[in-house]
Structure 1
Amino acid sequence: MPSTARRPVVALVLSACTLMATALFAAPVGSAQPTSSSSTQPSGSGRPSAPGTSGADEPDDKTSAPPSSACTNREAPPPAVTESENPAPGERAPAPLPVPEKPLGGDRMGECGLVLPPNSDSPPATVTADSWLLADLTSGAVLAANDPHGRQRPASTTKVLLAVAVARELNPNATVTATQEDVEQECTCIGLRVGGQYTVQELTQALLMASGNDVANALARQLGGQANALRKMNAVAKELGAQDTRAVTPTGLEAPGTSTSAYDVALIFRAAMKFSVISEAFATPRIDFGANSGKGTVPVLNDNRLLESYRGALGGRSGYTDDALHTYVGAAERNGKKLVAVLLRGEAQPLPIADQAAKLLDWGFTIPEADANPVGQLVAGAPQANTNEPQTSTSGAPDDEAGASTASQPTAMNRAFGNVGGPITAVAAVGVLAAMVLALRSRRARAARAKRMAQQQAQF
């Protein structure tokens, strides 16, 4: 074949290859490219970048959080003092949850110390909690806080998250039969009787009023077993935007990977109070509950000490473990304003944790024009851009974050087949196909020409 005949084919093949290379290697990455959840690169919020966030290209805000080195609990709660969070032999503890680059609820929610509105008085000195938050229950406006996204342990405030999953999944009139597994739970316990039958509503009331761990286990079984219950609890947390929260037991007792924050507890409590079965349980001083003897009933009293002693109290839930220390979430209403207070990792001195919450609520009701100058906002749901949070496994703990992050990393190939690379790649593919057809036709033409020349030579 003459060189002039080969040139168009060669040029077409080269053009097709050039287009394919452009699509594969020159497609723009874009600002949505995830970063490793373990990155410690500083940002405007003072928190490391995490998969799925979209604020990496925004300028730093001089009023945002202090340097990340000051946020001692930005990734995980303080070290445990017991062995409750030691992994079982042959297992490993889940990696800490990714820390969003931009703190949920506003830049100031990323600060690690006191977060106060302008010209406000100092909060009560009797508040000992390492992390606390005060917010308007109706609007979600955060009035004040201290290390709101600092990661802590929830203790029995986890039962509020369990109650939300129950309220969404189960018929309150459904019957639950208690088992030996329920009554063998580490207490505090209500006193379920093996074979005893209770309604979901009765168990929910006992869960929120008196923090029964036997009741929590029974409700988790009704949700499909502990693994499924934890999966559903973590799905609720994710849907609400509670990015610091990982439920590892339905009771709030610790296990490897446990995590929450004052911001998240307030977020979950606000959602919970929209269910009448939950808000009514919080506000109920006493119910008659089936006795574990099987004969008659016994009283179950609401152990929230503010319910009857604090004017306008709407209810709440306290908790304690050796690792979590004292925790509390509760709400009150005065003059048409509803506030929620969360305290995590508090001491019982100089006042019990519920009384510290009362002091914090008193102070919150006096903050002038608090709604006009909020320091943050309880979000109404998970941010749309945050699509790379780890999924919960059947054990209730998120799958390996590294695996989840790797699965979402953009590669040269999936960039090529994106919005821009797709059309380019399609053109390249058509060019390659056309080049192959032309090359085949050229080869056949050369063969036919050679055959004719051979026949002509044979005649002579």
Structure 2
Amino acid sequence: MPAHADDADGKAPKGAPKEPRPPARMSTVGGSQLGRPGTQVKLKPGAPKLPTKVSARSWIVTDAESGEVLASHNAHWRLPPASTLKMLFADTVLPKLPKERTHKVVPSDMQGIGEGSSLVGVKEGESYTVHDLWLGVFLRSGNDAVHVLAAMNGGVDKTVEEMNERARILHADDTKVVSPDGYDRKGQLSSAYDLSLFARAGMQNKDFREYAATATAKFPGETKKKKNGETKRESFQIQNTNRLLTGDVGIEPYPGIAGVKNGSTTNAGNTFTGVAQRGNRVLLVTVMHPDGQEAHGVYKEAARLLDWGFAAGGKVEPVGELVAPGSTANGGGAPHGKGGEAGGSADRAAAHAHSKPSGGAGTALGITAGVLVVLSLVAYVVHRRWPLPDLARRRRH
């Protein structure tokens, strides 16, 4: 049977090591206040207090449409992301592969899947549509589905390179991708801020929204021979491991939830990014590594923060913003030294530009103008209003 690492109940083992401390200096992308350790919030008179029962090492609550950060706690702390990194994988690869395309799985597609990975049950020698595989990624967090899609995209190495480049475009400078499925790998890191960027960018895509909001679906099984010599392929039902979408013992589905992704590994603990709508407001919340003392703690803490965010509408001053892709980031990238990489996206882009030989002023101006047009279009896409009626609809296939 597949091992579903994302089904962990969130309880910490006895004798767990003491909590680490966040770095004194972190990235200031999105605003200088987001680079400070600890909780950041600016309450106006009459604003509700933040929930006290939130133990996560890092979390952030944002308005998904405006990008305003309502409150945060160590927003740029670079931590292992677990399967929430699959949001970046989907945002990078999903637009490139037509969902009706079919692929027959070969042994090389399944190489490199980590021991104990979450699996949806992809079988070598069977054919799957891209649509099937994305359901396996979003609902069961299937690392087998991720590796097959990565193979269709030109391989794991190429996909990792593209994910890192996509992260830079999104100004997700806390993120370094080593494995496209989020499996624990040395040096693989992200942050609550970056995961929120990935969710916000991904949810601009209609198919991404549909997969993220799907509660249950049918997934193709094995092809078997019948006694009369004919073959028949069965299917089996899969359910989303996002407990705020489907519920579980001791936890109810969150009203208005529409995804996005949960994760759990040894190094990351439990992680979760969720989007929910109440009235005309859409909020994003990311929670990374609660202390594990509460069953389903990552979901319960996310729900408490969402409740607070909806109650705090118009009663808090933003402490930062989710920057738009291609914009000039407010602040800088991760700081030099331990836990951070030097420089931000603008610095790298400038260095890259200066390393190229000049091809003439006319050519340079033409390229610059073209880039500015593309970047302005990207920024518009991110800042437009989401189609709210579609966003919160829970789908069953």
- When normalised by structure 2's length, the TM-score is 0.71
Q: Which residue of 2 aligns with 1:356?
A: 301
Which position in structure 2 is the counterpart of 1:367?
312
Tell me whether 1:227 sits opposite 2:154 in the alignment: no
Distance in 2, Cα, partners of 1:408 & 1:334: 44
Out of 162-171 and 209-218, give the one that drifted further: 162-171
Q: Is this contact kept in 1: 2:35–2:74, CA < 8 A?
A: yes
Q: Which amino acid is 1:160 matched to? A: M
Shift of 1:205: 1.8
Amino acid at match of 2:202: A
1:385 & 1:112 partners in 2: Cα distance? 20
CA spacing shift, 1:272–1:408, aligned 2, 3 Å = closer
Q: Deviations over 1:203-232 (max 9, x none)?
A: 112101110010011111111100000011
> What number of residue pairs does the alignment pair up?
306
2-structure distance, mates of 1:289, 1:183: 18
User: How does 1:406-421 map onto structure 2 within 5 Å?
Assistant: 408=351
Q: For residues 197-236 of structure 1, what are the structure 2 equivalents within 5 Å?
A: 197-236=127-166
Secondary structure of 2:214 counterpart: coil
CA contact under 8 A between 2:174 and 2:333: conserved in structure 1?
no
3-state SS, counterpart of residue 197 of structure 2:
helix
- What's the CA shift string for 1:135-183, capped at 9, x where partnerless? 0111111110001111111100011111111223222222222232445
The 1:382/1:113 distance shift into structure 2, 3 A limit, reads farther
Structure 2 counterpart of 1:73, from 12, 18, 23 = 23
1:337 aligns with 2:287: no
Amino acid of the structure 2 residue aligned with 1:303 = T
| Residues 258-288 of structure 1: CA deviation (Å, up to 9, x unaligned) | 1111100001100000111111011111111
Once residues 75 and 264 of structure 2 are traced to their aligned partners in structure 1, the CA distance between those partners, rounded to angstroms, is 19
Match of 1:300 among 198, 222, 238: 238
1:163 partner SS: helix
Structure 2 vs 1, CA of residues 145 and 251 (structure 1 numbering), >3 Å: closer, same or farther?
same
The answer on whether the counterparts of 1:153 and 1:345 sit within 8 Å (CA) in structure 2 is: no
2:171 maps to 241
Q: Does residue 1:138 correspond to 2:65, yes or no?
A: yes
Q: How much does 1:107 deviate?
A: 1.4
| Aligned partners of 1:156 and 1:320 also within 8 Å | yes
In structure 2, how many angstroms separate the alpha carbons of the residues matched to 1:73 and 1:326?
A: 20
Q: What's 1:154 paired with?
A: 81
- How far did 1:118 drift? 2.3
Q: 1:193 aligns with which of 114, 117, 123?
A: 123
The answer to whether the 8 A contact 1:229-1:250 is kept is yes
Give the direction of change, closer, same or farther, for the CA distance of 1:367–1:287 in structure 2 (3 Å limit): same
Q: Which amino acid aligns with 1:221?
A: A
Q: Aligned in 2, Cα 1:183/1:115: closer, same or farther, shift over 3 Å?
A: same
1:306 counterpart letter in structure 2: L
Conserved 8 A contact 1:245-1:261:
yes
Does the CA contact (< 8 Å) of 2:58 and 2:287 recur in 1? Answer: yes
Partner of 2:322: 378
Structure 1 CA distance, aligned partners of 2:186 and 2:87? Answer: 20
Q: For 2:98 and 2:59, how far apart are their aligned partners in 1?
A: 34
Q: Which residue of 2 aligns with 1:114?
A: 39
Which consecutive residues of structure 1, in runs of 5 or more, have no partner in the other structure?
Answer: 1-69, 76-98, 391-397, 420-460
Q: Give the fraction of aligned pairs with identical amino acids, expressed as a percent.
A: 32
Q: For residues 28-67 of structure 1, what are the structure 2 equivalents within 5 Å? A: none
**AA paired with 2:34?**
M
Ranges in structure 2 where 5+ consecutive residues have no aligned partner:
1-19, 225-232, 247-252, 335-340, 362-397
Question: TM-score, structure 1 length as denominator?
Answer: 0.61
Cα distance 1:363–1:384, how it changes in 2: closer, same or farther (>3 A)? closer
Partner of 2:211: 281
**Contact 1:193–1:293 (Cα < 8 Å) also in 2:** no
Counterpart-to-counterpart distance in 1, 2:77 and 2:326: 18
Q: 2: CA distance between counterparts of 1:178 and 1:140?
A: 40
User: Root-mean-square deviation (CA), in Å?
Assistant: 3.1
Is this contact kept in 2: 1:265–1:329, CA < 8 A? yes
Using CA pairs under 8 Å that are at least 6 residues apart, name the structure with larger relative contact order, 1 or 2: 2
Kindly provide the amino acid, as one letter, of the partner of residue 147 in structure 1. Answer: N
Question: Does 2:218 correspond to 1:291?
Answer: no
Larger Rg, first or second structure (1 or 2): 1
What residue number does 1:323 align with? Answer: 267
Distance, in Å, in 2 between the alignment partners of 1:247 and 1:283 is 25
From the two aligned structures, give the one with the greater strand fraction: 2
Quick check: 1:175 aligned with 2:105?
no
AA aligned opposite 2:61:
L
Contact 1:74 1:151 in 2 (8 A): no
> Deviation digits for residues 57-95 of structure 1, max 9, x if unmatched?
xxxxxxxxxxxxx973368xxxxxxxxxxxxxxxxxxxx
